[in-house]
Amino acid sequence: MEERLELARERFAELEEEIRKTLPGDWQDFFLRSTSFANLLIKVYENSGTGFFKEINKALFEDILPENYNNSWCDPGYAVSRLGGEYGKLLSFVAAELRGGISAAFEKDAEALLIRLELILQLYHMTERGFAEDNAAPEYAVYKEVVYSFVSDYFETECERRIANMVDPSRDFALKIIEKSDYKDSSYLYAYGEYVTDNELKLAEYINALPQEKIDLMADTWTEGYRKGFILGGKDLSIKKTVNVRYPIGFERVMKKAVENFAKMGLKPTIYRAADTVFTGRSVNKNGFFGANPNPQFDYDHREDLALLLDGQLVTRRLECIEQAFIAYRQMAKDHAGPAVMEVFGETPFVPANKKEALKLSEEQRALDVRFRTENIRITNQYIPGEERSFTIISFPVPAIGDKFDEIFDAVIRINTLDYEKYLNIQSSMIDALNEAEYVHIKGMGANRTELKVSLKKLDDPAKQAIYENCVADVNIPVGEIFTTPVLKGTDGVLHVSRVFLNELEYKDFSLTFKDGMVVDYACGNFDDEAANRRYIEDNVLFNHKSLPMGEAAIGTNTTAYVLARKYGIEGLLPILIAEKTGPHFAVGDTCYSHAEDLKIYNPDGKEIVAKDNEVSLLRKTDPSKAYFGCHTDVTIPYDELGLLEGVRADGSSIRIVENGRFVLPGTEELNKAFTEE
């Protein structure tokens, strides 16, 4: 591999002059820029040291920064304007994939870097021959065949790399940065190979200046939530050996303490980079370790790049490679306990441009994508059993949130460590009341058009059973919700919010319409074109499914978080994790108990939670391919848009929980005290 890489290095070193002599106009420009970037990647691979990495950081991402993007081959609109629809979209795909070499170069992964360099060389040599022999580029189909082979051939190694990064603790690139960096100098952040801005530097400086007691509190809250998740879920943590740690760069001191805490539980960390290639998929919502996003529009434009190639054969090939990778790491996968996730919020919300030139899945390909997602879930669950794994998520603000960052950060720490017992008791009173209900009725207030009926499971033994789970600070931090799996039949109506952020994307005037628990219609007001609005929801909420069930119905009780958001004007910046605690919320997709429905789970009062399945998830017993969707998206109605939330008994009598945005059920009045702080 190193010999091949050396040959590629030598070839690229001499290529720029040759390209100027052999290729015309737009083709010359594409390959000159690709060669320049390839040489930059090779330089990174061959060098090390914080000073060098800092010096080269902006150069690695300059091409896709917003001010340069509309003149970049990574921009599908620009590429199509230069070479037309077919060639332009393909070369934009290639330019984006070459950027996957950044992580390979920093992690000294010769193969991952080499395959991208060799793709550029192969395409260049084809193009050079075409102009030399016929004074024209080869037919588009020839290029497409090369790119198809690239993806198909390397699915095996790329899938193995991704699975290994998830379960093998010896792959410790990020862990070394966490454990060996000198936190007195934030320039260590450049060693990741992620884009670094003032936001990340200021965050690291802030975290590194905190007293150790506060670092301990943050880490302990997070890791203790993870441990509690196993206990409350009736799962045995002692049989596990690894935990997948996901975080934004800048929190290394907290991560170091968390790693120590996990070690006391017998767990070693596995840490991988957020997805950045066509093999792993691209998303505005980062999942792994990550730095600043140089341009979310780039990720949005390339999120469906596989549309260039996707067919049934490629789906089958990809699934086979994933299963082979899991087989190779079978024992490590079995030992894996699941993710511990740290999220951040506070950056300017991203509103994407919907570019017609960007690759988009056809209807046939969308069906293939659903098939892949479904089978991928099945394979993953086979080797990392859902009934044995858990997770936890916590979130903190970043300096980009504004001048009052310090205040907001301290307030979020307070929210993340609210009194467990107080919420436990208040939420118990709500659960006891709703155990009497046949359905829940939710109605919006003011401009909110919500009018929704949610059917509830009937209890066989109310003295020993509960419909709702009492969710305190364990897997979902902060504290503050009760949730259930609705009965789909009879769950009807419209869910509406004036503005909501889902998976880093903004939705305006967003609505979902349900019939018997399934989404039958949807709309938003992001774009002038109604079809574009529907496609936006289909892509990013329904994830290419024709419909999704309501997998969760919940009541958020964290009025303190709600008031915090209003006080600092950051309602639109809150992550779902916190936002879902600030009002009733409803999730489309899988239930909260996906792949663990048969485990017995109890509330702290000893009552068994029995509403874990719906009519769709029950299909796992007869046709597992139809039971799961691999997605779960929460939509929250804020208190100031909530007119009424009530349980309705079989005789039609009402159990009022919230009225005009305030809690009215006896035993819940304490929650309203936070509103007086507004």
Reply yes or no on whether the pLDDT at 420 is more than 90.
no
Number of domains observed in the structure of the chain: 3
What are 163's two structure tokens?
């699975």
Cβ–Cβ under 8 Å, residues 638 and 562 = yes
Q: Are residues 303 and 229 in the same domain?
A: yes
Same-domain pairing of 343 and 256: yes
149, part of any domain: no
**Alpha carbon of residue 587 to chain centroid:** 15
Furthest C-alpha separation in the chain? 85
Q: Please give the radius of gyration of the chain, using alpha carbons only, rounded to the nearest integer.
A: 26
Which pLDDT belongs to residue 70?
Answer: 97
Query: What's the pLDDT tens digit per position in 160-213?
Result: 999 999 999 999 999 999 999 999 999 999 999 999 999 999 999 999 999 999
Is 558 in the same domain as 622? Answer: yes
Predicted local confidence at residue 403, as pLDDT: 94
- As a whole number, mean pLDDT of residues 517-545 equals 94
**Is 542 inside a domain boundary?**
no
pLDDT computed for residue 471 by the predictor: 85
Residues in the chain: 678
Handedness of CA 441, 445, 448, 449 (dihedral sign): positive
Within a domain: residue 152?
A: no
Please indicate, yes or no, whether residues 133 and 220 belong to a single structural domain of this protein. no
Say yes or no: 235 and 116 in one domain. no
Enter the tokens of residue 545.
Answer: 């499914």
pLDDT at 159 over 90: yes
Mean pLDDT of the chain: 95
* 161 belongs to a structural domain: no
159 lies in a domain?
A: no
Domain that holds residue 126: 2-138
Instruction: Report pLDDT for 250.
Output: 97
Could you give the percent of the chain with pLDDT greater than 90? 87
User: Where a domain ends, among 138, 156, 182?
Assistant: 138
pLDDT at 472: 76
CA distances from 607 to 466, 470, 536, 613 (A): 6, 10, 41, 17
Q: pLDDT at residue 18 above 90?
A: yes
Please enumerate in sequence order all residues whose Cβ is within 8 A of that of 198, keeping only pairs 6 or more positions apart, or say none. 399
Q: Does one domain contain both 504 and 373?
A: no
For the residues 219-247, what does the mean pLDDT come to? 94
Could you tell me the pLDDT band of residue 559, with boundaries at 50, 70 and 90? very high
393 within a domain of the structure (yes/no): no
- 132 and 79 both lie in a single domain: yes
- Residue 245 CA to residue 219 CA, distance in Å, equals 12
Same domain, residue pair 511 and 436 = yes
Residue 99 has pLDDT above 60, yes or no: yes
Residue 588 pairs with which residues in a beta bridge? 550, 633
C-alpha closest to that of 391 among 590, 225, 588, 579? 225
In angstroms, the CA 388 to CA 340 distance is 15
Indicate if the pLDDT at residue 678 is higher than 60: no
One domain for residues 379 and 434: no
User: How confident is the model over 344-367, as a mean pLDDT?
Assistant: 92
Closest of 344, 313, 173 to residue 249, by C-alpha: 344
Q: What 3-state DSSP class applies to 394?
A: strand
Report how far apart, in Å, the C-alpha atoms of 481 and of each of 478, 484, 583 are: 9, 10, 9
Could you tell me if 68 and 24 lie in one domain? yes
- 605/505 same-domain check: yes
Question: Are 207 and 353 contained in the same domain?
Answer: yes
Q: What percent of the chain has pLDDT over 70?
A: 100
pLDDT band at 240 (very low <50, low <70, confident <90, very high): very high
303 found inside a domain: yes
Is the pLDDT assigned to residue 473 strictly greater than 70? no
Q: What is the pTM of this model?
A: 0.90
Q: Model confidence at 351, in pLDDT bands (50, 70, 90)?
A: confident
pLDDT 10s digits, 56-77: 999 999 999 999 999 999 999 9
Angstrom distance (rounded) from CA 652 to CA 49? 71
User: Within 10 Å of residue 347's Cβ, how many Cβ atoms?
Assistant: 18
Tell me what the mean pLDDT of segment 524-544 comes to.
Answer: 93
Q: How far apart are CA 277 and CA 283, in angstroms?
A: 10
Cα 23 to the center of its chain, rounded Å: 41
Place of tokens 């880093």: 504
CA dist., res. 100 & res. 92, Å (int)? 13
When mean pLDDT is compared across 101-105, 117-121, 574-578, the lowest value belongs to 574-578
Residue 572 contacts by C-beta under 8 Å, 6 or more apart in sequence?
349, 499, 501, 506
The tokens of 559 are what?
Answer: 């009025």
CA distance to 167, 177, 236, 257, 298, per residue, from 241 (Å):
9, 21, 11, 18, 37
Q: How far apart are CA 440 and CA 553, in angstroms?
A: 9
User: Is 383 within a domain?
Assistant: yes
- What's the confidence (pLDDT) of residue 475? 79
Tell me what pLDDT residue 49 has: 83
